[in-house]
Structure 1
């Protein structure tokens, strides 16, 4: 059985991922990774797109249509499907992910660290400050990986999005933060590769020059995706739908996608 790590770099638009993520694109040059443009669902907002990525359904169907809707997901997610199949799940992520798949509302005093085999996310470390350092976030994810050995691990960083809201996607600060996250990834990805993980690195939405996102422009909706691992192959496609991520991960994990996930198979897997 294959184990999967999904890394979500919140707010990273496609052009910045293509031009500033030197290590990740080095893997592509060395034919150790594949690179795609993902077209996000709409609206290009965080909480709706967490749900889209992790359930393979559109906001009009899953009902999380803005960032202010705080409730548990009503859909089958990668977490719930894996849990029902008796696979182990883990996450180091923003607290909205806990609210969607474990507990809503998030209790800051009690819910930061969760270890409960009955939960969809069985082992989780959740942060609630957008400025929580990505360096610490990836260490949280690595702690979960080494300690609990999940079959599906979700690592979700927030600093690129935060800097984009403060300075815009055209700023030196935004581009510098992308470089920093790329450097952080270089500390982990080769180890994950050597240990046989199947890895997807992508973003939920992008960022525009107006310090924001939520609309339909390319810099808000087009995001990068890198795939790494023996189960991935070079595909003839260049642009893919965000709806393909969830069923692809399910297939790699060896579990059936939900009935609501699109039946189309991503041609970039064996």
Structure 2
């Protein structure tokens, strides 16, 4: 049984959009090969605070990452810190805010685009800084890191769905097209990840209000999907809401690392071990 994890955070993916637009992932659920859950995003429903929630398992009032700006480094132990302390290897292909939270602030597009330094929290990173950076390139960045570095924990974080939501709204053809494209890319990559012995977790930071915004408290902004693929999950479509704070301790469980005291302790449904 594997103890390695690939976490895919599809920025701005609503639960409704995932259920209606991700044919491959929902096929795995129907075929008894994956679990699908409904995650309730923490507040505020903004990207930088929710990256911190997903990667440290701490709420805003604990970590003080309360908005997208002004930027600053996290004061919490992230999954990157924890894997490094355990002697595991990690990597990330992600938006540059992830680098700013855990490796170095401020982000320099030349100096920090590619990072390979095992003394840092994120040991191997490929970071983009343009919201329109193609998801196809980002997934390729992540897959190359996986092949070259063979990490125990890999974060892949595409922005195309979020960018389309801001530009056209979550009820637009452009938004739905980006969801279809992300699902197709996962359809090409996930079978290989499974063969290589990874647990694959796919979720989002936040959703969208009908007018293409987020940051508020509406159900559309807070309801995001979670797909769990691997031998530790009991397959099926689960209807109960699960706190977003449960994701980081779940990953600690799968990696067999001890969570820090500040991390929320929440039981994750659909686990078989």
| Superposition TM-score, scaled by structure 2 size | 0.97
Give per-residue Cα distances to partners, 1:142-195, cap 9 Å, x unaligned. 000000011000000001000000000111111111111111111100111111
Q: Indicate the residue corresponding to 1:209 in structure 2.
A: 210
Report deviation, 1:76: 1.0
On the 8 A contact 2:33/2:235 being kept in 1, the answer is no
Distance 2:166 2:262 in 1: 33
Q: Indicate the residue corresponding to 1:29 in structure 2.
A: 30
Distance 1:41 1:64 in 2: 12
Q: In structure 2, which of residues 258, 267, 270 is the aligned counterpart of residue 268 of structure 1?
A: 270
Q: In structure 2, which of residues 239, 242, 249 is the aligned counterpart of residue 240 of structure 1?
A: 242
Distance 2:72 2:167 in 1: 28
Aligned length: 270
Report deviation, 1:91: 0.1
Report deviation, 1:112: 0.3
Distance 2:3 2:61 in 1: 32
Unaligned runs of 5+ in 1: none
Distance 1:108 1:125 in 2: 11
- Counterparts in 2 of 1:156-175, with a 5 A limit? 156-175=157-176
- The answer to whether 1:50 aligns with 2:55 is no
Distance 1:108 1:263 in 2: 36
Structure 1 residue ranges, 4+ long, deviating more than 3 angstroms after superposition: 234-237
Q: Indicate the residue corresponding to 1:228 in structure 2.
A: 229
Cα RMSD, aligned residues only = 1.1
On the 8 A contact 2:245/2:266 being kept in 1, the answer is no
| Superposition TM-score, scaled by structure 1 size | 0.98
SS in 1 for 2:157: strand
